[in-house]
């Protein structure tokens, strides 16, 4: 009987919702799953849940707060000790009623949903490229359509008029642009993004939203998928042959989905990449060219 190597799968924000169910499904098929979470308490509960439901004890936690570059660097260092990372699922995400800033001074939605994941991914280049068939999966959203007109490169931090849906939509559009550009720059890695569906999860709970936005999102369970169904496209991209062969695409329900017109602007893929690297590089100590060729950093 051929020996199938156990894969290392890293999932951000896997203590809740779609990420938690993705972790259960992948652990159940025999992957070694590492969940990256900002709350030690919530991670501990999720760890026991994933082990119990999957029947797989090879599940671990790495602390990660995507709103703090020091935490991202320390998580990347710990994750790199795995040697290889076969699948990285950038799943964590949030929408906030009020504007706030990360530890590093970025608008939080943009900072967590896009910049934090971009930094984590770039810092994991070495273990990703050491894997046989590496995959990066970015959980974006159909909400990227809300970013009518595309990214505002004059105000990426939304300092002028903050609107939660616009800030969220732009952060999800940034996930799509990042997917396109990373796929071009790392041709030996399958890089894809997805919309999971409208999912009844922990999304926008815990005081993240107030007023009409909270009321609207609380009504969503009436029309939503459960979290396990919401994990289906992430699991498909992590396990299927198309998820290994195809790169640089946006998926909805296991099929290539339709992108909003601004998401198809190649010049914005490149501009977001350059701007993001410029924002992130000084946070490295000493500053480094984050997108320099591997081995030269």
Ligand X SMILES: NC(=O)c1ccc[n+]([C@@H]2O[C@H](COP(=O)([O-])OP(=O)(O)OC[C@H]3O[C@@H](n4cnc5c(N)ncnc54)[C@H](OP(=O)(O)O)[C@@H]3O)[C@@H](O)[C@H]2O)c1
Residues annotated as part of the active site: 168
Among 88, 89, 93, 263, binds ligand X (CB under 6 A): 93
For the sheet with 249-252, list strands across it: 59-63, 32-37, 8-12, 87-90, 135-139, 190-195, 249-252, 255-256
CA dihedral 160, 165, 171, 176 (to 10 degrees): -130
Query: Which residue, 3 or 115, has its beta carbon nearer to ligand X?
Result: 115
Region near ligand X per CB under 6 A, out of 64-72, 181-189, 248-256, 289-297: 64-72
Nearest approach, Cβ of residue 87 and ligand X (Å)? 16
Applying CB under 6 A, does 67 fall inside the site for ligand X? Answer: yes
CA dihedral of residues 145, 148, 151, 157 (deg, nearest 10): -100
Number of H helices, E strands in the chain: 12, 10
Residue of 30, 42, 63, 257 interacting with ligand X (CB under 6 A): 42
262 binds ligand X (CB under 6 A): no
Q: In terms of C-beta density within 10 A (0-12 exposed, 13-18 middle, 19 or more buried), how is residue 272 classed?
A: buried
Dist CA 7 CA 56 (whole Å): 13
Q: Which of 7, 27, 32, 65 binds ligand X (CB under 6 A)?
A: 65
Which residues in the 120-139 window bind ligand X by CB under 6 A? 139
Q: Rule CB under 6 A: is residue 19 a binding residue for ligand X?
A: yes
Q: How far is the CB of 108 from ligand X (least distance, A)?
A: 8
Q: Are 138 and 22 in contact (CB under 8 A)?
A: no
Q: Is residue 115 at the binding interface for ligand X, with CB under 6 A as the rule?
A: no
What residues make contact with ligand X under the rule CB under 6 A?
Answer: 12-13, 15-19, 38-39, 42, 64-67, 91-94, 112, 139, 141, 195-196, 198-199, 201-203
């Amino acid at each position: 009987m051929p020996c199938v190597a156990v894969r290392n799968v890293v999932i951000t924000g896997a203590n809740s919702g779609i990420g938690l169910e993705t972790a259960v499904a992948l652990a159940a098929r025999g992957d070694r799953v590492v969940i990256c979470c900002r709350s030690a308490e919530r991670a501990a509960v999720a760890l026991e849940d994933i082990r119990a439901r999957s029947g797989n004890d090879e599940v671990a936690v790495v602390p990660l707060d995507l709103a703090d570059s020091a935490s991202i660097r320390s998580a990347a260092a710990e994750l790199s000790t795995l040697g290889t990372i076969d699948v990285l699922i950038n799943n964590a995400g949030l929408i906030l009623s009020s504007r706030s800033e990360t530890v590093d001074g970025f608008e939080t939605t943009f900072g967590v949903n896009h910049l934090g994941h971009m930094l984590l991914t770039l810092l994991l280049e070495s273990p990703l490229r050491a894997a046989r068939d590496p995959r990066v999966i970015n959980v974006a959203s159909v909400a990227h359509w809300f970013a009518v007109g595309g990214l505002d490169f004059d105000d990426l931090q939304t300092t002028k008029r903050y609107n939660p849906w616009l800030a969220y939509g732009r952060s999800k559009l940034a996930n799509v642009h990042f997917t396109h550009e990373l796929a071009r720059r790392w041709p030996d890695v399958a890089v894809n993004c997805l919309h999971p569906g409208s999912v009844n999860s922990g999304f926008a709970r815990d005081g993240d939203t107030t007023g009409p936005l909270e009321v609207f999102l609380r009504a969503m369970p009436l029309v939503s998928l459960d979290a396990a169904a919401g994990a289906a496209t992430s699991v498909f991209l992590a396990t299927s042959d198309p998820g290994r062969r195809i790169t640089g695409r946006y998926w909805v329900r296991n099929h290539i989905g339709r992108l909003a017109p601004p998401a198809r602007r190649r010049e914005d893929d490149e501009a977001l990449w350059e701007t993001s690297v410029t924002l992130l590089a000084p946070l490295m100590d000493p500053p480094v060219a984050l997108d320099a060729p591997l081995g030269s950093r």
